[in-house]
Amino acid sequence: MAETLNECYTFPSMFNETLRKFGNHDAYAFVGESPVSYVAVNLRIQSVIAFLEKMGVEPGDRVAILSTNMPNWGITYFAITFMGAIAVPVLPDFSNTEVTNVLEHSGAKAIFITSPLLSRIEGFFSNDLKSIILIEDFSVIYSDISNLIYDPAAVAGKSYEVKEDDLASIIYTSGTTGRSKGVMLTHKNISFNARKGRVIQPINEYDRFLSVLPLSHTYENTLGLILPMISGACVYYLRKPPTPTVLIPALSEVRPTIMLTVPLIMEKIYFNKILPAFTDNFLMKMAYKIPSLRKLLNKAAGKKLMKTFGGEIKFYGIGGAKLNKTVEKFLLEAKFPYAIGYGLTETSPLLAGANPSKSVFESTGPKIEGIELKINNPDKITGEGEIWAKGPTVMKGYYKEPEMTKEVISPDGWFRTGDLGVMDDRNNLYIKGRLKNMILSASGENIYPEEIESVINNFRFVVESLVIQQKGKLVALVHINMEELEKKYQLLKEDVSRHVEEKIDDMLIELQAYVNSRVSKFCQIQKVVLQPVPFQKTATLKIKRFLYT
């Protein structure tokens, strides 16, 4: 029987199709544990739907999830959305205030929460919130319904008809520009996006995902939960944060074929592990400066990197922020199967992307199939302008914020991304930076701080940086790797405590000269300031600029 549009673009219809095709295939597991099949997942989903019914949850009600990644995260998310209720995923790194604001604003009727995050809602009270459930085992922490108990053998008491334009999720962005907004995404928004992601990279029931980004972020939610589900693939989760000591053994055990990451992960690997191996030795450092030798060395390093990642990676997706240019050049020369994508929470998220075999240096690739993308009002000389998007992946709007929605969605349906970009003659998109971040120089030139930061971040000992304008001058805030700096001077048998401050001052002067010799005249840095602690970041590890400007 031919599929209808409704069957194609709702979570329950897609899951039923997966059950039919891949029911006995592995679905979810913690690393080191045996996966459960899609058939077993379906039974758990049905029992959670029955549990939600006991709580009095009905279609259209909001149910929050505040949890680290685990199989029960996806099971709960599907139970909520399969019955026509609306999932409200909350980022685990939200502060107590941010969490309670989300619960208050969304009017969540229930929350599924992991035990380490219980302190985030301590003392919170709302007339809307009726039940607090521990997501690890679905035990009841609080409910105004007496004798509420989860029954793993229970089945849903009603049948539900979910339409593609029904809301599936309200995702509150932590963003880099200020207060969170509730992005309303429909079943079709997310389902369409996941299906088009599969056009870029074919995925099947034998693929293994290793999840390292929070499921409450749209990037991981659509491409790391819905995409593998419609493909019958298996997703593995970590019980602890993805530090090197946790991640490396997990990579060896799972041998993932697909990973979705943010730039900072690969940038840390390159600058902390790979580059020092090529620059600590004088002869190697000289060899690495010769392009033909650098390519050979990078290719050899790429083979080692592939082995570190388990040896079977075919798609290493990078999104959420701009990748450092030097790191991308390394990945390209290393023949590592990386792919860069571009999108926003408001677009479910993917707007542009390419397969690793078609990666274009410094580009996100072309738009995804089935949507429109344009550069609005491009500059006549540079071709740069704001990126606008239109199509089935654009959100319904911001929850309870019609005026804010009108600001970003035009009357004819174009979503204003707030990002500046340019397209080449092959329709490959190049991101220049955020419109709100752009600095106008005294002589009228457009300065993109992200481009200067990518130069700064290539300098030895720099971990991350932020370029801002103060009193008409460009200032770089720089966070450095103190441990590595101290280690260098210990090797030189110097008195670290006595000299380190002086060395830092020297290094900042050297850094300023380094940057200014590599950027245009109007992008020159007038001052470099040490940032003593790491910058505060969003879920995709972008610096929260509004806190520093």
Q: SS3 of 188, please?
A: helix
Which has more pLDDT, 137 or 433? 137
pLDDT of residue 3: 39
Task: Identify the band that residue 81 occupies on the pLDDT scale cut at 50, 70 and 90.
Answer: very high
Measured in degrees and rounded to the nearest 5, phi and psi for residue 402 equal: -60, -35
Residue 1 has pLDDT above 60, yes or no: no
Task: Identify the band that residue 27 occupies on the pLDDT scale cut at 50, 70 and 90.
Answer: very high
Mean of pLDDT values over 362-376: 97
Mean of pLDDT values over 14-20: 97
pLDDT of residue 177: 47
Task: Identify the band that residue 521 occupies on the pLDDT scale cut at 50, 70 and 90.
Answer: confident
Residues 90, 91, 93, 97: is their CA dihedral positive or negative? Answer: negative
Burial 232-257 (b: 16+ CB within 10 A, else e): bbbbbbbeeebeeeebeebbeebebb
CA dist 89 and 12 (Å) reads 18
> What are 247's two structure tokens?
């991640």
181 neighbors 398 (Cβ within 8 angstroms):
yes
367 neighbors 373 (Cβ within 8 angstroms):
yes
pLDDT of residue 414: 98
pLDDT of residue 451: 87
Which has more pLDDT, 8 or 342? 342
Residue 176 has pLDDT above 80, yes or no: no
Mean of pLDDT values over 223-247: 96
pLDDT of residue 443: 66
Task: Identify the band that residue 4 occupies on the pLDDT scale cut at 50, 70 and 90.
Answer: very low
Task: Identify the band that residue 5 occupies on the pLDDT scale cut at 50, 70 and 90.
Answer: very low
> What are 480's two structure tokens?
């450095």
Q: SS3 of 141, please?
A: strand
The rounded mean pLDDT for the chain is 92
Mean of pLDDT values over 95-117: 94
> What are 548's two structure tokens?
């520093």
User: Which amino acid, 266?
Assistant: M
pLDDT digits (tens, 9 = 90+) for 449-467: 988 998 999 998 899 999 9
Would the pTM count as exceeding 0.85?
Answer: yes
Q: ∠501-506-512 over CA atoms, to 5°?
A: 125
pLDDT of residue 488: 67
pLDDT of residue 496: 52
> What are 29's two structure tokens?
């597991």
Q: Count CB-CB contacts under 10 A for residue 263.
A: 22
pLDDT of residue 485: 74
pLDDT of residue 362: 94
Q: Count CB-CB contacts under 10 A for residue 495.
A: 9
What the chain holds in terms of domains, given with CATH numbers, is 5-24+34-190 (3.40.50.12780), 361-435 (2.30.38.10), 439-547 (3.30.300.30)
Measured in degrees and rounded to the nearest 5, phi and psi for residue 98 equal: -60, -40
> What are 429's two structure tokens?
């998109």
Which has more pLDDT, 4 or 404? 404
> C-alpha distances in angstroms, 428 versus 363, 367, 398, 422?
6, 8, 29, 8
> What are 36's two structure tokens?
């459960």
pLDDT digits (tens, 9 = 90+) for 475-499: 999 999 888 777 766 645 455 555 6
Which has more pLDDT, 490 or 267? 267
pLDDT of residue 497: 57
Residue 264 has pLDDT above 90, yes or no: no
Task: Identify the band that residue 270 occupies on the pLDDT scale cut at 50, 70 and 90.
Answer: very high
pLDDT digits (tens, 9 = 90+) for 183-194: 999 999 999 999
pLDDT of residue 504: 86
The four Cα atoms 279, 280, 286, 292 give a dihedral, to 10 degrees, of -40
Q: SS3 of 211, please?
A: strand
CA dist 50 and 44 (Å) reads 10
Q: What percent of the chain has pLDDT over 70?
A: 95
pLDDT digits (tens, 9 = 90+) for 139-160: 999 999 999 999 999 999 999 9
Residues 518, 524, 526, 528: is their CA dihedral positive or negative? Answer: negative
Bridge partners of residue 134, in order along the sequence: 113, 139
How would you classify residue 107: left for phi > 0, otherwise alpha for psi between -120 and 50, otherwise beta? left
Residues counted in the chain = 549
